[in-house]
Structure 1
Amino acid sequence: MFQTLKNAWSMPELRKKMLYTLFIILIFRFGSCIPVPFIDTTLLSQYFEQASVNGSMLGYLDMFTGGGLSRATIFAMSITPYINASIILQLLTVAIPALERMVKDGGEEGREKIASWTRYLGVLLGLLQGLSYYALLRNGFGGKTMLSNTGALAAVTIIVTFTAGTALIMWMGEHITQKGIGNGISIILFAGIVSRGPSLMRTLANLFQTGTSGIVSGIVMIIVGLAIVVFIVYMSNAERRIPVQYAKRVVGRKMYGGQSTHLPIKVNASGVMPIIFASSILSLPQTISMFWQPESGSVGAHILNLFSQTSVFYIVLYALLILAFAYFYASIQFNPIEIANNLKKNGGFIPGFRPGKPTSDFITKALGKVTFVGALFLAVVALLPLIVGAVNSSLRNVALGGTSVIIVVGVALDTVKQMEAQMLMRHHKGFLE
């Protein structure tokens, strides 16, 4: 990976893209440190500390924002509204035939229209989340409001600032995708999570200072973390190779075809998106709780407690959503009927299966098995730290690192692969050797 970065830096065009990406990340981190006016950040930090101890989803959302949510900065909403908007539009595209035709047959114009609708919906969701966050600040903590000014002008300023921050982050993410390196949404999530690294190191350091049990827990977490990283890298590069044979054909005096190749199906073709989408959906109850805080012991309080990260219901639902989104992304990326038709047109076939429907059925069956293994891998790696945090309350903050490790490693691998692909297209001598 380091050699790839070195080779990419030596190429002027890629160096400009890398510098542009770093510049956008710098702006994002700078905005994540600018607090919104009229908010008591000291009381807010105390509220988030208690929420983290109780296993609330707020600590999870704060991880995605790089600490911006707990500090009430202009980027407190982060990229979450845009992700939720993307989920809604992609599901609607599958459910509504007119939108599906727009994407498939509309070409670049259709995709641009869907992207434009995603932006508008992202801003609208950012406004709703800004309203919910303002309601949380106004309700206060410990009988005290977290606002230094409860006037109408202050309310408008806070909500509009949060919404504008969401729109600016969407703009930055799209520009990273267009002019930088990697996927813009993933890169911003990556930057926010990595910025929480020092906090995780302090948590581990505190464990080592609590005595023998803390030292053992810290060593176990480090070993498990390294094992998870190795496992993620291995599974991210794993693939099922379906053999493909091309028939020989004579054109004039020359013979073509006859070679053997393979059809690769990656075990984790969807990357980290199922986890990101599942996390975003499970954050909706916490958003609702910002508007409405039920009394302790009421039915509403019990329902919201089900979405605590230490809840069995939450862990099971999280796993099911990861499985569902993994299959959803696999169905979008692979069309077995189209693959079978292309093989038939080019004179290719899978040994032991006739061209056409038998080939399509075999690819569908193989894709289902591979997708299940990839989804199971994502679910295990995402849920293992949560289960550890539910069993040992002192490790709840560390448990937040489970999903973050998947995202960080997955984004790093995808970005390096994009660099390698761009260097390959430019015939980079050092890379080809």
Structure 2
Amino acid sequence: MAAAKGNALGKLGKLTELRQRIFFVIGALVVFRLGSFIPVPGVNPEAMTNLVNGNGLMDMFNMFSGGALERFSVFALGVIPYISASIVFQMMGAVVPSLQSLRKEGEAGKRKMTMYTRYATVALAAFQSFGIAVALQGQVAAGGAPVVYTPGFGFIFSSVVGLTAGTMFLMWLGEQMTERGIGNGISLLIFAGIVAGLPGAVVHTLGMASNGELSLIKLLMVLVVTLGVTGFVVFMERAQRRITVNYARRSGGQKAYMNQSSNLPLKINMSGVIPPIFASSLLMFPATAVSWFSTGQKSRWLQDLTQALSPGNPLYETVFSVLVIGFAFFYTAIVFNADETADNLKRSGALIPGIRPGKATAGYIDAVMTRLTGVGALYLVLVCLVPSFMQSAWHVPFYFGGTSLLIVVVVVMDFTAQVQAHLVSHQYESLLKKANLRRN
């Protein structure tokens, strides 16, 4: 009786811990949404909203920040500077010798890399906020109203301080969500920013359908494509190429062995959502820099370049596709080492049937991984561009871009998987406790 009561209390405690983690994530997301409504002083809100709406690049950036850019809140930059700094240091860690040595130092090296990433985030956020503040001073909305009330040093200083502080707070908040909540905090913040505009987009689309501006066929087309792309993303993210591996284990005596077969699972998309996110971030830089100088008739070609680098245009789609494919191969090479995998198999006494251990195994695994990465890169490009083609060719009001839909689906899958793993781990712990009680 006492043992059953103790097991029930232990299970209740574990569920309470999971509930607390989920509530912490919800509370952090509420704080994120509240902070997106705190504006930086000195900006005309109506003029800023008119400036953002209709601009393809700003619309995309505004969607990632959960509408914070059109309100010019302290969270207008979102976590994009932190993501860019993290990816840059991950890539540099594969080619810079000093950073390579840090990666091999274990937990101490990881702390140093985190510190360098935070410093880079501060510098990048300050640079971006300075560029945005300078660019906004010369902008005029469609109605002729200036975006900035009183341009000058005061506005630039307050914008740099406010936007940089907002990005650093989001970085800290994301780390707390990862440590004390469930899932990756930074990914959940991006997810919350994207999903925040979904209710308004649904209401707007249904209003267009009721007013006759949107036909029923196009509305059904949006629904079918959304469900189809979502199902395709789920299928591809779970798809694996399993390489058969045999283990020779001694079962008794000197010459008696027993072969055991297992498999080496290789994901088709090993890089996740990193390539589309980094490609989008890189394409924001030239367009933002161009906007600083695109004033007056003498810089007409700069304005044309800005327009060409906006989502929906052929140049943007082409460059975006090339960047996604390049980053998919590069990031996969960072997170997966074929030589290290072959050495681990050799040390554990495992071999791939028909392949010699060592370099031959590494070459075989690398060739398989290269083909899988090629398929995964094309899958990322297809998912990211199909909704964009719908928006530009058929003028369908598709709120989720391909990159946004990919991020939302992958983050939800990761969150669900971590919740399930948390529940399974606690069930395993309870089984071990029951076994110990029965032995005693």
TM-score by length of 2: 0.89
Name structure 2 gaps, 5 residues minimum. Answer: 1-10, 432-440
Q: Structure 1: how far apart are the matches of 2:14 and 2:383?
A: 36
Query: Residues 128 and 115 (structure 1 numbering): CA distance in 2 closer, same or farther, change over 3 Å?
Result: same
Query: Quick check: 1:136 aligned with 2:140?
Result: no
SS in 1 for 2:112: helix
Paired residue for 1:3?
none
Matched to 2:393, the amino acid is: V
Paired residue for 1:31?
35
Paired residue for 1:307?
309
Query: Residues 333 and 112 (structure 1 numbering): CA distance in 2 closer, same or farther, change over 3 Å?
Result: same
Paired residue for 1:58?
58
SS in 2 for 1:427: helix
Aligned-residue offset at 1:251: 5.8
Paired residue for 1:101?
101
Q: How does 1:240-251 map onto structure 2 within 5 Å?
A: 240-249=241-250
Matched to 2:110, the amino acid is: R
Aligned-residue offset at 1:67: 0.3
Q: Structure 2: how far apart are the matches of 1:86 and 1:201?
A: 34
Q: Contact 2:273–2:407 at 8 Å: present in 1 too?
A: yes
Q: Contact 2:325–2:381 at 8 Å: present in 1 too?
A: yes
Structure number with bigger Rg: 2
Q: 1:410-430: per-residue Cα shift (whole Å, max 9, x none)?
A: 001011112222222222599
Matched to 1:29, the amino acid is: R
Matched to 2:70, the amino acid is: S
Aligned-residue offset at 1:253: 7.7
Paired residue for 1:115?
114
Q: 1:178-208: per-residue Cα shift (whole Å, max 9, x none)?
A: 2211111101000101101113213421441
Q: 1:199-244: per-residue Cα shift (whole Å, max 9, x none)?
A: 3213421441353863221111111001011111111111111010
Paired residue for 1:275?
276
SS in 2 for 1:199: helix
Paired residue for 2:417?
417
Q: Structure 1: how far apart are the matches of 2:412 and 2:341?
A: 30
Paired residue for 1:373?
375
Query: Residues 255 and 277 (structure 1 numbering): CA distance in 2 closer, same or farther, change over 3 Å?
Result: farther
Q: Contact 2:25–2:177 at 8 Å: present in 1 too?
A: yes
Q: Structure 1: how far apart are the matches of 2:333 and 2:40?
A: 42
Q: Contact 2:240–2:265 at 8 Å: present in 1 too?
A: yes
Q: Structure 1: how far apart are the matches of 2:12 and 2:228?
A: 29
Q: Structure 1: how far apart are the matches of 2:372 and 2:209?
A: 41
Q: How does 1:210-289 map onto structure 2 within 5 Å?
A: 210-211=211-212, 214-249=215-250, 258-289=259-290
Q: Structure 2: how far apart are the matches of 1:210 and 1:62?
A: 27
Q: Structure 2: how far apart are the matches of 1:400 and 1:339?
A: 38
Aligned-residue offset at 1:145: 2.2
Q: 1:330-353: per-residue Cα shift (whole Å, max 9, x none)?
A: 112221111111111111111111
Matched to 1:422, the amino acid is: H
Q: Structure 1: how far apart are the matches of 2:57 and 2:151?
A: 26
Q: Contact 1:245–1:349 at 8 Å: present in 2 too?
A: yes
CA RMSD of aligned residues (A): 2.4
Query: Residues 8 and 132 (structure 1 numbering): CA distance in 2 closer, same or farther, change over 3 Å?
Result: farther
Q: Structure 2: how far apart are the matches of 1:151 and 1:212?
A: 44
Query: Residues 429 and 338 (structure 1 numbering): CA distance in 2 closer, same or farther, change over 3 Å?
Result: closer
Q: Structure 1: how far apart are the matches of 2:156 and 2:306?
A: 26
Aligned-residue offset at 1:292: 2.3
Higher mean alpha-carbon deviation, 142-151 vs 398-407, is at: 142-151
Q: Structure 1: how far apart are the matches of 2:35 and 2:257?
A: 59
Number of aligned positions between the proteins: 419
Aligned-residue offset at 1:148: 2.4
Q: Contact 1:133–1:290 at 8 Å: present in 2 too?
A: no
Matched to 1:122, the amino acid is: T
Q: How does 1:61-80 map onto structure 2 within 5 Å?
A: 61-80=61-80
Query: Residues 213 and 430 (structure 1 numbering): CA distance in 2 closer, same or farther, change over 3 Å?
Result: farther
Paired residue for 2:8?
none
Q: Structure 1: how far apart are the matches of 2:254 and 2:387?
A: 64
Q: Contact 1:8–1:15 at 8 Å: present in 2 too?
A: no
Q: Contact 1:270–1:326 at 8 Å: present in 2 too?
A: yes
SS in 2 for 1:243: strand
Q: 1:313-344: per-residue Cα shift (whole Å, max 9, x none)?
A: 11011111111121122112221111111111
Paired residue for 2:25?
21
SS in 2 for 1:167: helix
Q: How does 1:300-379 map onto structure 2 within 5 Å?
A: 300-379=302-381
Q: Contact 1:135–1:290 at 8 Å: present in 2 too?
A: no
Paired residue for 2:171?
170
SS in 1 for 2:149: coil
Aligned-residue offset at 1:144: 3.6
Query: Residues 213 and 13 (structure 1 numbering): CA distance in 2 closer, same or farther, change over 3 Å?
Result: closer
Matched to 1:89, the amino acid is: F
Q: Structure 2: how far apart are the matches of 1:415 and 1:257?
A: 40
Name structure 1 gaps, 5 residues minimum. Answer: 1-6
Q: Structure 2: how far apart are the matches of 1:338 and 1:88?
A: 23
Paired residue for 1:192?
193
Q: Structure 1: how far apart are the matches of 2:258 and 2:29?
A: 49
Q: Structure 1: how far apart are the matches of 2:343 and 2:17?
A: 39
Query: Quick check: 1:88 aligned with 2:88?
Result: yes
Q: Structure 2: how far apart are the matches of 1:375 and 1:206?
A: 37
Identity of aligned residues (%): 34
Q: Structure 1: how far apart are the matches of 2:430 and 2:48?
A: 52
Query: Residues 389 and 212 (structure 1 numbering): CA distance in 2 closer, same or farther, change over 3 Å?
Result: closer
Aligned-residue offset at 1:75: 0.5
Query: Residues 20 and 217 (structure 1 numbering): CA distance in 2 closer, same or farther, change over 3 Å?
Result: same
Matched to 1:286, the amino acid is: A
Aligned-residue offset at 1:256: 6.3
Q: Structure 2: how far apart are the matches of 1:82 and 1:9?
A: 35
Q: Contact 2:290–2:303 at 8 Å: present in 1 too?
A: no
Q: Structure 2: how far apart are the matches of 1:347 and 1:164?
A: 53
